[in-house]
Amino acid sequence: MAFPAPPRNAAGQRLTRTNTQPGSPQRSLVNAYEYSSRKATGASAGLSTSQIRGHAKTARGEKGVRELKRVERPKIIDAIRQARSDPSITLDQAARRAGTTEAKVRSGAPGAVTETDGRWIVKPTDRLTRRMRILTGGQVVEVDVRGSRQASLVGRHWAAIRRYLDLADEAPLRALAGKRVSGYELECDPDEILALAQTGQLNVPSIYA
């Protein structure tokens, strides 16, 4: 697409927003020129007409979608967890308990569910990424955990920590010694765990961040 020539007045002076009045014929020429220039620039960059017409709107729309996904993601993960841990409930029931819907679970985590005999159920495992808290190197950190197996390992670790603090049973911790999640080695030193618990550093609201 050819780039348009800028509008000029009878004296040959280029018309701009600074030297034209809003609503005047001259301002209309300026507006038309700016739109044509934007269209030509966008076309040369391979943008669609809708993208050229609404950059700001598109950006806001994409931001809204990202925000919706951020809010819904934990609910979807929780629904899958509940359905997997309690086979007696349906995916729809698990979704409602988690504050979401079956449709959102199916669209947000298609790889974690499957349809069997007309009923949607969760698969035994999945590859979803979860934001979780783990205890490593003497501190609690938030990490992205890929897959239900790794997430289950995080859950086992926190359960082992709780069992040690409640019953002084070190066996579950010893069984996890050397295990890593997302590259972080799980803290399994009983003395370190006890010291952290005494200072309140293990009082996390949830293992999910």
On whether residue 5 sits in a domain, the answer given is no
Instruction: Quote the tokens at residue 149.
Output: 């197996």
Q: Are residues 101 and 134 in the same domain?
A: no
pLDDT tens track for 164-174: 999 999 999 99
On whether residue 110 sits in a domain, the answer given is yes
Query: How confident is the model over 59-76, as a mean pLDDT?
Result: 69
pLDDT value for 57? 47
Domain with 43 in it:
22-53
Tell me the whole-structure pTM to 2 decimals: 0.64
Counting the structural domains of the chain, the total is: 3
On whether residue 9 sits in a domain, the answer given is no
* Alpha-carbon span 63 to 40, nearest angstrom: 26
The percentage of the chain sitting over the pLDDT mark of 70, rounded to a whole number, equals 84
On whether residue 101 sits in a domain, the answer given is yes
Q: Are residues 190 and 170 in the same domain?
A: yes
pLDDT value for 75? 94
Query: How confident is the model over 36-59, as a mean pLDDT?
Result: 60
On whether residue 16 sits in a domain, the answer given is no
pLDDT value for 10? 87
On whether residue 8 sits in a domain, the answer given is no
pLDDT tens track for 75-131: 999 999 999 999 999 999 999 999 999 999 999 999 999 999 889 999 999 999 999
pLDDT value for 66? 65
The percentage of the chain sitting over the pLDDT mark of 90, rounded to a whole number, equals 64
On whether residue 34 sits in a domain, the answer given is yes
Average per-residue pLDDT for the chain: 88
Q: Are residues 74 and 29 in the same domain?
A: no
On whether residue 188 sits in a domain, the answer given is yes
Instruction: Quote the tokens at residue 189.
Output: 């030193």
Confidence of residue 5 (pLDDT cuts 50, 70, 90): confident
pLDDT value for 30? 83
Q: Are residues 28 and 79 in the same domain?
A: no
Q: Are residues 99 and 141 in the same domain?
A: no
pLDDT value for 18? 86
Do residues 149 and 125 lie in contact, with contact meaning Cβ atoms separated by under 8 Å? yes
Longest dimension (CA), the chain: 92
